[in-house]
A and B are shown apart, each in its own frame.
Chain A
Amino acid sequence: MKKLSARRRHPLAALVVLLLALAATGGLYAAFAPAEKAQADTAAQSLAIDEGKKLFAVGCSSCHGLNGEGSSDGPSLVGVGSAAVDFQVATGRMPAQQPGAQVPKKKNIYTQHEIDQLAAFVASLGPGPVAPTEKQYTSTNPDDVAAGGELFRTNCAQCHNFAGQGGALTQGKYAPSLEGVDAKHIYEAMQTGPQNMPSFPDTTMPEEQKRQIVAFVRHLDEEPNPGGLTLGSLGPVTEGLFGWIFGLGVLIAVAIWVAAHTTKARKS
């Protein structure tokens, strides 16, 4: 202890104390964060709705209210349907970490079984979009990619970019990249319109067209890119910038290098 107090005026002492304090705060948060406690009591095999309600009370009710009626911190979940729950929880967006312009995607801490229970509870609050079955979002027709591409460019590309790379919206909001997003979640996002994304209900975009769009987005991921570096798939602006800065830059650097090296026998 004496040794420690002898160094308390060391220039780095404040930094060490700060780091310790940060580590302690982070550690305490990790230990007591509400999301971590959201483990279902798997021993009890009662109805999915009852289990879902318990999970809901732990993980969701602080913002959405004990019965999903909503509060100043979160919207009402009456009528959002099981598709919305499956999308929000399985992509890790909910439970939200903090309020902000947009709730980001993060690691999901629930099992699919727990998500289904939560979805069953929320679906029981009021009718809403139902989470799709695998058959609904899995395309078997190879022509779907082309049809989906047209639909994607009409309905989705304005925000998510023609190659599904995402893009900025107003005041810190953004359309996320669709790279590597699960087919089921793409389908559910169209059904439910999460956060600021508008919904594309079956009445205006039939199930088959959603399936085609999913097929196109999955194809974007699998399709090889003969050109190599995509530079964010943003089109000619980034490509031109890259060409001017790096292409021309290398040429200028070579010219300077050549001119800077004399061939004279006597170096001055």
Chain B
Amino acid sequence: MSHDMSEDKLPESHGSAGQHEVATHGDPFADPGLPAHEPRRTDIDERAAKRAERQVSLMFVVSMLATVGFIASYVAIDADKIVYIFPLGHVSALNFALGLTLGVALFCIGAGAVHWARTLMSDHELPAERHPIEADDEVRADVIEQFKTGAAESGFGRRKMIRNTLIGSMALVPLSGVVLLRDLGPLPEKKLQHTGWDLATPEHPLPLVNMNTNKPMKAEDIVVGSLTFAKPEGLEEDDETFQQQIAKDALMLVRIAPENIKDKDSAELGFEGILAYSKICTHVGCPISLYEQQTHHALCPCHQSTFDLADGARVIFGPAGHPLPQLKITTNEEGFLVATGDFAEPVGPSFWERS
């Protein structure tokens, strides 16, 4: 669309266009009024209008072709075909073709409609003056009058029994919604306080099972600097409640040279430097296992809480409020690592009743 046009196609002048300039004399703040209507090029030049019409139709035709292209690519292109397209890299040819053709089809309808409206549809300008939102006094008085009449006719003020029972019924109705909130339950009761490890007792210790091999581990299997994930014996991935259970029971086993363990209580809970920490962050319960074996830091990927596993999983950075709970472990007579009880404190994020 070139905008240069011969002067003879333009109207000579607009008589109204100069008016407001005159009005500013003497009063610089005078309301200049509405500017005069300017015709569009397509309003005064029939050839320009024809050209705009062809442009709009062209866009609609392109849209039609793109839709045909969409159907054709759906039929013709193999779903597994991968092509290289700069700068997207290797992409599925089908995905790319479908997205491109559908995008072009929709865009051309929109662009055609906008171009049509701007160049060819009526250019009539309709000024709408602002009015105060407030109704005038007469209307207000009328409404108040009607309200008073209605109130008197209903007898709401006179028949107290009806009024009071109505208020009562209205007050009770929302209770149905409140009662339905019970479906959010049942209450967790002691579930937050205990994990699957509470099946373990000093008499019947529960072996730690390696998540990789699904077998119990011996102390010598865990070398210094290694990281192993464990679950209680008896919890199987096929179990219906596995996901709920592992969200509390998951253990992170690390072995730290005993001379590097700063917290003696933590060393006591472990076995010869093998420490079993809950894998669940005490902030909002993300699985935390970004373990750095030289610094002994465990980093939570969600909010960067950092725990020093050599110092009783003390929080050294981030929003977590508690150290990671540590499970007391030892070995049984066959040499397998076992737990002799549950965590001493609830695992995972804090909650109201947490002591």
Bitwise interface map of A from 229 to 268 toward B, beta carbon under 8 Å scored 1, else 0: 1100000000000000000000000000010000111111
A267 & B221 in contact (Cβ 8 Å cutoff): no
- The answer to whether A201 touches B223, judged by C-beta atoms less than 8 angstroms apart, is yes
Contact residues of A with B, CB < 8 Å? 151, 154-155, 158-159, 167, 169-170, 173, 175, 193, 195-201, 203-206, 209, 224-230, 258, 263-268
Q: Does B174 contact A (CB under 8 A)?
A: no
A-B contact number at CB 8 A: 122
Q: Which among B37-45, B56-64, B326-334 touches the partner chain?
A: B37-45
CA A229 – CA B92 in complex, angstroms?
A: 11
Number of interface residues of B (CB under 8 A): 55
A-B CB proximity, top 7 nearest: A198-B227, A226-B92, A228-B88, A228-B91, A203-B221, A196-B292, A265-B41
For B85, give its contact among A158, A227, A228, A258 (CB under 8 Å).
A228
| Contacting pair A225 B10 (CB below 8 A) | no
Q: Which residues of B contact A226 (CB under 8 A)?
A: 82, 91-92, 95
Can you name 12 extra interface pairs (CB under 8 A) apart from A226-B92, A228-B90?
A: A169-B292, A170-B299, A195-B294, A198-B226, A198-B254, A203-B221, A204-B212, A204-B217, A225-B89, A226-B91, A258-B114, A265-B45
Contact B287 A265 (CB under 8 A): no
Scan B49-68; emit 1 where CB is below 8 A from any A CB, else 0.
00000000000000000000
Q: List 13 A-B contacts (CB under 8 A).
A: A154-B211, A198-B226, A201-B223, A225-B90, A226-B82, A227-B92, A228-B88, A229-B88, A230-B89, A264-B38, A265-B40, A265-B44, A266-B10
Contact A263 B212 (CB under 8 A): no
Chain A residues, CB < 8 A from B217: 203-204
Minimum Cβ distance to chain A for residue B335 (Å):
13
Residue B266, interface by CB 8 Å: no
From B118, which residue of chain A is reached at the shortest CB distance? A263
Contacts of A167 in B (CB 8 A): 301
Contact check, A263 vs B41: say whether CB atoms are below 8 A apart: yes
- What is the CB-to-nearest-CB distance from B177 to chain A, in angstroms, rounded to a whole number? 33
Q: How far is the CB of A63 from the nearest CB of chain B, in Å?
A: 15
Give CA–CA (A205, B253) in the complex, Å.
13
Q: How far is the CB of B344 from chain A (nearest CB, A)?
A: 25
| The residue from A204, A206, A227, A264 contacting B95, defined by CB atoms under 8 A apart | A227
Shortest Cβ distance from A75 into B: residue: B294
Find chain B residues with CB under 8 A from A265 CB: 5, 9-10, 38-41, 43-45
Whether B291 sits at the interface, judged by CB under 8 Å, is yes
Asked if B354 is an interface residue, CB under 8 A from chain A, the answer is no
Q: Interface centre among A154, A158, A264, by most B CB within 10 Å?
A: A158
Closest to B288 in A: A158
* Residues of B with C-beta under 8 A to A266: 10, 38
Check if B295 sits within 8 Å of A198, measured CB to CB.
Answer: no
A198-B225 in contact (CB<8A)? yes
Residues of B within 8 A of A198 (CB): 225-227, 254, 291-293
B171-225 at interface with A (beta carbon < 8 Å):
210-213, 217-218, 220-223, 225
Whether A193 lies near B226 (C-beta < 8 A) is: yes
Chain A contacts for B85, CB-based, 8 A: 228
Which residues of chain A are within 8 angstroms of B39 by Cβ–Cβ distance? 264-265
B125 to chain A, nearest CB (A): 11
Across the interface, A151 reaches (CB within 8 A) one of B90, B118, B212, B297, namely: B212
- The answer to whether A158 touches B289, judged by C-beta atoms less than 8 angstroms apart, is yes
Known contacts A169-B290, A204-B217, A263-B41: A228-B225 contact under CB 8 Å: no
Q: Are A229 and B89 in contact (CB under 8 A)?
A: yes
B38 touching A170 by the CB < 8 A rule?
no
Q: How far is the CA of A206 from the CA of B214 in the complex (A)?
A: 12
Docked pose: A173 CA to B296 CA in angstroms: 13
Q: Which residues of A contact B88 (CB under 8 A)?
A: 228-229
Minimum CB–CB distance for A167 against chain B, Å: 8
Looking at the assembled complex, report how far the CB atom of B215 sits from the nearest CB atom of chain A, in whole angstroms.
10
B264 to chain A, nearest CB (A): 23
Instruction: Note all chain A residues with C-beta closer than 8 A to B118.
Output: 258, 263
Q: Which of B69-123 contact A (CB under 8 A)?
A: 82, 85, 87-92, 95-96, 114, 118-119
Q: Given the complex, which residues of A lie within 8 Å of B336, measured CB to CB? A: none
